[in-house]
Amino acid sequence: MKVERDQPDVPLSEKVVPSYAPAHPNRLDTVIRRAKIAVFVGMGIALAVGLWGHARWSHTVQTFVYALEAATLPVPQRPGRFYEEQLATLPPVVQRYFAKVLTPNQPLVHRVYLEQTGTFNRSFQQPQWDTFTARQRIATARPGFVWDAAISMGPGIDVRVVDAYVAGTGTLQPSVLGLVDLAGQQGGADIARGELMRYLAEAVWYPTALLPGQGVQWTAVDAQSALATLTDGALTVALTFHFDAQGWVQRITSDARSAMVDGTLVPMPWEAVVSDYQLRDGMWVPLQAEVAWTPASGRVPYWRGKIEKIDYELPR
């Protein structure tokens, strides 16, 4: 009987069938790896651009806020208050409004901070509504305000807008992402007049600013409306306030407020409709509004907003 010789020991590595190794690296893995790198780089660039734009825009807005503070008169040693005796010479419909929205002995508003949400129509011809958020600071001891808004024009694309009236100068400046400034307007003529009209219309949010002792003159139009006239420096503006049967301001109108049409300011009928009155710091104020141009060709709404937060500085 033949005895087979023992086979020499063979390393385990030689007994295992080697795996297949392609001559070229897996292209799919390479593509995925590069895509991940590109995503991370893109996110880093977007974050850097966003932070840069935010910092630049914050500086721009803060410059206007500092100017607003510098133009605001100091609080008098004996801050004013509302008393019904102040209404004696006003038209009856205006007397009824103040008696309704103000609490007796109400301190006069000195400054306001508010936050808004809403939609903005950026086209006069065809409605194109975009959402916005905004913050606004208002001073009443020389009329002025700074409105800082972010309008969403699409995924990741915000147009920042500062709309301001400071020391007799009006400003409207849009900027893409806070980095690329678009054509804006600044001056003391038509643009300033329009911004002072805005301040007067929005005074329903800080109604003590509409009192006769705060520079507003009231003239009766009819039983349900009155003309409010405000002068600041060389500028004088007037708006008609329309009151409902309960005494609330329902609409505010102008026969000729400047509208931007194809890059040119054109006088056009205008109105603001306010609603949803709520009690805030002793004052009844409307928390919702819609603003529209009202030419003969038809009403064109362009701003719909809601007050989400409102804080008053009321010197005691």
Average pLDDT over residues 119-126: 86
Averaged confidence pLDDT in the chain: 85
Q: Is the pLDDT of residue 276 over 70?
A: yes
pLDDT of residue 60: 86
Q: Is the pLDDT of residue 181 over 60?
A: no
Residue ranges of domains in the chain, CATH in brackets: 45-74+82-313 (2.50.20)
Q: Do 178 and 190 touch, CB atoms closer than 8 A?
A: no
Give residue-wise pLDDT tens across range 25-80.
567 667 666 666 655 555 554 445 455 556 777 888 899 899 999 998 887 767 78
Percent of the chain with pLDDT over 90: 58
- Give the model's confidence band at 122: pLDDT under 50 very low, under 70 low, under 90 confident, else very high: confident
Whole-prediction pTM: 0.82
Beta strands in the chain (DSSP E): 111-121, 129-139, 144-154, 157-166, 169-176, 180-181, 185-187, 216-222, 225-232, 235-243, 249-261, 264-280, 283-293, 300-313
Tokens of 284: 């009844």
pLDDT: which is higher, 86 or 18: 86
